[in-house]
Amino acid sequence: MSKTQAQAELLSMACTLLAASEALDNNEDVELPLDDPDDDSEVLELATALMFQKVLEIKGNGTRGNYNQFSKSKDWFSTSLQQPDRWSRSNYRMSQSMFDCLVFILAPNTIFHSPKKKQRHVKCQLATFLIRYGQPGSDVLGVASKLGLGLGTVHLYCRRVTRALHELRSHHLGWLGDEQKTLVSQRIEARSGFPKCVGSGDGCQIRMTTAPEENPDEFLSRKKQHSPFQTNFQATVDDECHFTSFDLGWPGLYLIPLDYLTI
């Protein structure tokens, strides 16, 4: 129902109640549940006044107007791209050259090109993603304020970049083949003297702002730092620090079943 239709319906009901109130004042035969006609008339007049007030509160032509508006600035983003490399690592968790390289790789993806409406540059959308998920304690409101975006736009940009990065996985990350293993192993042995090694690996825990809905106790962090709920992340790299595999999502606290315990 549009605002105009709602106003018309409320006015019709108000006019009906007003006519009934006038009929009671004129001692006409109007059946209402109250015993005292004077009380009936006062109740109807009050209801009529409330409906007229409601009609006046309905404004506009039914189209959605501005909402959740707050002061925004685009100066921070443009300035951040010109800052020294150490500031880029602090803001985006990577060097400026790596940021530009990632923009170059993501730019051709069709998700960043809408036929009907021109999108912001991939740089802005990638920056939104990196600040939202890279800076400790970063929230949607903080990202929106820094980059001059709406709250919903922050979520939209993060979804786009997440999808684009996921599509790149098969092109830029994969376990070594037999020939690659031999070459990497030879380079590592020549450099460090360590034989039959094809890379190195490490893991960390990623904190969660809220407890998972399913089995939250399994995600309690064994380190108990920052957030009580965390999930594990593990990755491997070759001798040139190129990622060869990763795995994440395992609980921060591994609970051993009683069947496996021996006394």
Average pLDDT over residues 116-144: 87
Note whether 237 and 243 are within 8 A (CB).
yes
Candidate ranges 133-142, 155-164, 204-213; pick with highest mean pLDDT: 155-164
Q: What is the DSSP letter of 257?
A: P
Stretch among 102-116, 159-173, 215-229 having the lowest mean pLDDT = 215-229
Closest to 144 (Cα-Cα) out of 81, 212, 76: 76
Tokens of 254: 């591994």
In the predicted structure, residue 258 carries a pLDDT above the cut 60:
no
pLDDT of residue 34: 46
pLDDT of residue 155: 92
Beta strands in 100-217 (DSSP E): 200-207
Q: What are the sequence ranges of the domains in the chain?
A: 3-57, 75-172, 197-260
Count of C-beta atoms within a 10 Å radius of residue 103: 16
pTM above 0.85, yes or no: no
In the predicted structure, residue 263 carries a pLDDT above the cut 50:
no
Q: What is the DSSP string of 196-228?
A: S---EEEEEEEE-SS--SS-GGGGB-SS--SSS
Tell me the pLDDT band of 225, cut-offs 50, 70 and 90: low
Average pLDDT over residues 219-248: 80
Mean pLDDT of the chain: 78
pLDDT tens profile 172-199: 788 889 999 999 999 999 999 999 999 9
Note whether 126 and 107 are within 8 A (CB).
no
pLDDT of residue 37: 47
Beta strands in the chain (DSSP E): 200-207, 230-237, 243-251
